[in-house]
Amino acid sequence: MLRTMLLACAVTGLVACQPSVHGPTPVDGVEEVVGDDRDGGAAADGASVPTTDDDPPGRDAGSASSDHSGGQSDAATNGDICADSGWYGDRMCDTFCPLRDPDCDDACVTNQWYGDGLCDDFCAQPDPDCSTSSCPLNAHLNIDGYCYCDDGYRVDAAGTACEPDSSTDGGVPPVIGTVRTLFTSANGAIGGVAVSADQVYVMEKSWTEMYHYPRLHVHRFDTSSNVSWDLVGEIEAEGSAIDVAFGYVYVADSAGGGEHRGRILRLPITPGGNPNDVLALKYSITGPRHIRFADGWVYFAQAGFDQIWRTSAADATNADETVATCLGCGGPVLNFSLQADQLATLHQGGIARGTISDLDSFAVVTNVTGGKALVLDGDEVFFTSVVVYGGGDVRGTVTRYNLSTNQATVLIGDVEDLSLIALQGDQLYYTGAGGVFRIARTGGVAENVAAFCAPSSLAVSERGVAFACSYSAFWVPLIFA
């Protein structure tokens, strides 16, 4: 099977595209691990697998490591030559080690995918190919590890390059396609959706009849091939937020697997995966919500707190660190948005903005009443504010705020049941009573994207709009002329 480059678009102010991957490709509902032939994960083109069995401790078997050609390490004092020599996790499988070498479980080692000229973001270790050189022409590597098309360019129809984008700078927006139903839950509800290019991930929540324990399924839908499958068998969790990046899906579990405390879970993107493959990156937290993946970290907020935390996306050490605190924001974090090293947080009393690495830089930039959602894009932040009238009538406003000039512009007001927003290119997508809508980021006339239901979740890429209403998830393709 020929290798293709997949440019997975992220929801940011720029067109974003993920470096190409060898990656698992679903075929007729079954994941095929593809080498350059990709059959059974064999080494590409008959190349020898970098594995050592009976080699002496000072082995030299063509390793990718630069320090395996000498004799036994002088530092070998604890009885584990592999630990003393740094051979664990050096991208070469050593079966003679006293402990199991993690390289022997790394498909990118056994298939020699490290440093083969194609970026593999699902490898156990960083692939050297995932660098600036992996990005196509007119694209650059961002801090979150994604290739972003430069200003004035967008991902082409084939998903392999960045082409001039007529939709920027007030150009013609993409044509709205026909709404498709992706999934309808038979015994639960949709807890959230995430999208990467034309791949949609749907989080389904249900409850056991006897004990009322929450159960979670995550479904993946390839909208271009109409292939779908479950990522993992049913797990005990109550998903409250979902994100996808680098071969994994990240879920905020507010139930904590029956422990009544929250967790951040990592699920591998493989069909019919084992629930034992689900990794709890963080546990014993309070009501995790609004998770975001960036630069090897999962950022999250907790119910009732005015802080943003992050935990490593690579392991289950349960360690975390605070990256933002806004003591003068008048309440806990309601939502947040990340772009490169900049972070904006939405509170009941205002919006704060600062640098992830500098807590002291956080400060309120504007007051907000009844804020619910926001998107940070360069020097601008888009946010919603709502007012609840008598009888439960909810009306909202979408505002664009320039952080440099402190100028606020109301894009649209008096929207019934206004809830969610997402920015893609020059278009701002939002939800309200009656469906999904969009409006130019500079203002103008609102356009209907999907004219039914009041969506409970929304995610947008350059390829389309994914949203959910109660028990069903939907997809609307975006078509560039």
Alpha helices in 67-212 (DSSP H): 81-85, 107-110
Q: Residues of 383-393 as b/e, b for ≥16 C-beta within 10 angstroms?
A: bbbbeeeeeee
pLDDT of amino acid 430: 96
Q: Measuring CA to CA, which residue among 205, 203, 208 is closest to residue 231?
A: 203
Residue 354 pairs in a beta bridge with 343
Distance CA 353, CA 375 (A): 12
- pTM beyond 0.75: no
pLDDT of amino acid 74: 40
**Integer CA distances (angstroms), 163 to 5, 147, 166, 467, in order:** 15, 14, 9, 27
**Integer CA distances (angstroms), 32 to 45, 190, 223, in order:** 17, 28, 18
Residue ranges of E strands in 133-179: 139-141, 147-149, 153-155, 162-164, 175-176
The residue behind tokens 């994100």 is: 243
User: Which of 47-56, 319-328, 426-435: highest mean pLDDT?
Assistant: 426-435
pLDDT tens-digit readout, 41-81? 333 333 444 555 545 444 544 333 334 433 343 434 467 88
Mean of pLDDT over the chain: 76
Residue 4 sits at φ, ψ, to 5 deg, of -125, 155
Task: Return the minimum-mean-pLDDT range out of 2-11, 88-97, 438-447.
Answer: 2-11
Q: How would residue 317 be classed by pLDDT, with cut points 50, 70 and 90? A: confident
pLDDT of amino acid 383: 93
Domains of the chain with bracketed CATH: 175-232+316-479 (2.120.10.30)
pLDDT of amino acid 209: 54
- Strand duo 93-94 + 51-52: pairing: parallel
Is the pLDDT confidence value at 258 over 80? no
Q: Which amino acid is at 105?
A: D
Distance CA 137, CA 278 (A): 37
Q: How would residue 250 be classed by pLDDT, with cut points 50, 70 and 90? A: very high
Compute the C-alpha angle 25/28/34, nearest 5°: 30
Distance CA 65, CA 92 (A): 8
Residue 44 near residue 116 (C-beta atoms within 8 A) = yes
Is the pLDDT confidence value at 359 over 50? yes
**Integer CA distances (angstroms), 79 to 36, 92, 209, in order:** 39, 20, 54
The residue behind tokens 């694209």 is: 139
Q: Which two tokens stand for residue 152?
A: 């004035």
Residue 79 near residue 98 (C-beta atoms within 8 A) = yes
More confident of the two residues 234 and 33: 234
Identify the sign of the CA torsion 353, 354, 355, 356: negative
- Strand duo 307-312 + 153-155: pairing: unpaired
pLDDT of amino acid 216: 87
pLDDT of amino acid 129: 67
Q: How would residue 181 be classed by pLDDT, with cut points 50, 70 and 90? A: very high
**Burial class of residue 268, CB neighbours in 10 A (0-12, 13-18, 19+):** middle
